[in-house]
Chains A and B, each alone.
Chain A
Amino acid sequence: MAVWEALLELADDHLVLGHRLSEWCGHAPMLEEDLALPNMALDLIGSARTLYDLAGTLEGKGRDEDALAYFRGERDYRNCLLVERPNEDFAHTVLRQLYFAAFMKPYWDRAMTSTNAVVQGVAGKAGKEMAYHIRHAGEWVIRLGDGTEESARRMADAVEALSIYVDELFDSSDAAQDAEKAGVLPVRAEMREAFDAVIADVFSQALLTQPDVAYGQRGGRTGQHGEGLGHLLAEMQSLHRAHPGATW
């Protein structure tokens, strides 16, 4: 396995979650959130672009960011399952964001010492951005969890639905292991402590309990996705599939 494939996994995580957040644009429950979610979507898509560019360069077959984003089918996408989960309600959206950001914050902080200068560059920006993603999502999880009867029920439903996708974040694929050995990317399993600390802090304030996950869902890194990713890609890729090479 090659390092560029590990970068592709990381880029796919960011693009797919960024696209999910962008689906709220024009539909968020209030104007402030209508600005907040696309703002954070842009952070993720911005990181994805640089990572795709680097992955394509290292692959060396002339695939640029558009080729990698728009001309791969769902079986070729390598994102983890968490990020493709549908938005459902606001509780699902903010919890998914909290899980992802709580993992990526320590990940990018460690990637500041990557042996690859581009990864270092992405890490410097994205680490700071993840700090406010955690803050924004964490505050919402607390408001909803410790809110009304209905908001607490929805928040607990979201925990029930999404907690089974958390463990996959800490797995390193063969490609990721190679990138970790080369010092390009941090070792995923090492994020556990920092992740658990953030989740425990937020959940205790949100009056939520963390369920015991007997069997975590996995498969995204080998291209085995849920139905939702196909729908997401169909929408995201339709313009480029119809008009290859279209630009603004």
Chain B
Amino acid sequence: MNLSGESDAGAAWAAAAAVPDPEVPCVSVAELGILRWVRLEEGVAVAGVTPTYSGCPATLAIEFAVEAALREAGFEARIERLLSPAWTTDWITEEGREKLKAYGIAPPVNGGKATLFVSVSVACPRCDSLETERLSEFGSTACKAQYRCISCREPFDYFKCI
């Protein structure tokens, strides 16, 4: 049972929303915009979760973690995987963007278009310099690219805009 003073739906949201992303644990699934909603349906907490990329290997881990958090908070729980509308980095909250930057990951820069040989200019998360260069469009996870700051020489991850 939920013993807190909040409404059940609010408590379910709070429990699910606090789950950290398994690959980028500085931000929660709510801050990343992966957790879309939590509803109570006949006593069962149903969480709508959207995958980031088609092949993101963390999708299942995230669903398990959200379900486990809801159960721990005393709810019967179920996950609904939402394919549409497709997740976009626009859904990362302002707080999420700040946490990414504090963690050393440059948050997504809007306006990145799919033009050959053009990469967006990304500010270094450590020294804020815009003099950075892309090392690779692909990094340790599907959602990140590798950059290097020319001013402070630090390599850093960039959370790609999609």
B interface secondary structure, majority: loop
State whether A128 touches B162 (Cβ < 8 A).
yes
A129 to B47, CA, bound (A): 26
Cβ–Cβ contact B137 & A36, under 8 A: yes
Asked if A46 contacts B54 (CB within 8 A), the reply is: yes
Any chain B CB within 8 A of the CB of A124? Answer: yes
A91 CB to closest chain B CB, in angstroms? 17
| B114 CB contacts on chain A under 8 angstroms | 131-132, 134-135
Closest to B119 in A: A135
**Contact (Cβ within 8 A) A126 B138:** no
Interface: B115 (CB within 8 A): yes
Inter-subunit contact B56/A42 (CB<8 Å): yes
On whether A36 and B53 interact (CB within 8 A), knowing A121-B84, A124-B84, A135-B114, the answer reads: no
CB distance from B139 to the nearest CB of A (A): 6
Give Cα A43–Cα B138 distance, bound, in whole angstroms.
12
The residue on A at minimum CB distance from B136 is A32
Q: What 0/1 readout, one digit per residue, does chain B (111-142) give for beta carbons within 8 Å of chain A?
A: 00011110000000000000000011111101
Q: Which residues of A contact B83 (CB under 8 A)?
A: 50, 117-118, 120-122, 124-125
Which residue from A43, A47, A117 sits with its C-beta under 8 Å from B142? A43
Set of chain B residues within 8 Å of A201, measured between Cβ atoms: 116
B13 at interface, CB cutoff 8 A: no
CB of A139 within 8 A of chain B?
Answer: yes
- Dominant SS among interface residues on chain A: helix
- Using a Cβ–Cβ cut-off of 8 Å, how many residues does chain A contribute to the interface with B? 35
Residues in A with CB closer than 8 Å to B54 are 42-44, 46-47, 50, 122, 125-126, 129
Nearest-neighbour CB distance to chain B for A225, whole angstroms, equals 24
The reply on A39 being an interface residue by CB < 8 A is yes
Contact between A142 and B116, CB atoms less than 8 A apart: yes
Name the one of B51, B117, B138, B162 contacting A139, with C-beta atoms under 8 angstroms. B117
Report A128-163 residues with CB < 8 Å from chain B CB: 128-129, 131-132, 134-136, 138-139, 142
Report the bound CA distance from A128 to B54 in whole Å.
10
Give residues in B with beta carbon < 8 Å to A.
51, 53-57, 82-87, 114-117, 135-140, 142, 146, 162
8 A–B contacts from the bound complex (CB under 8 Å): A39-B142, A46-B56, A117-B84, A121-B82, A122-B54, A125-B51, A125-B86, A135-B114
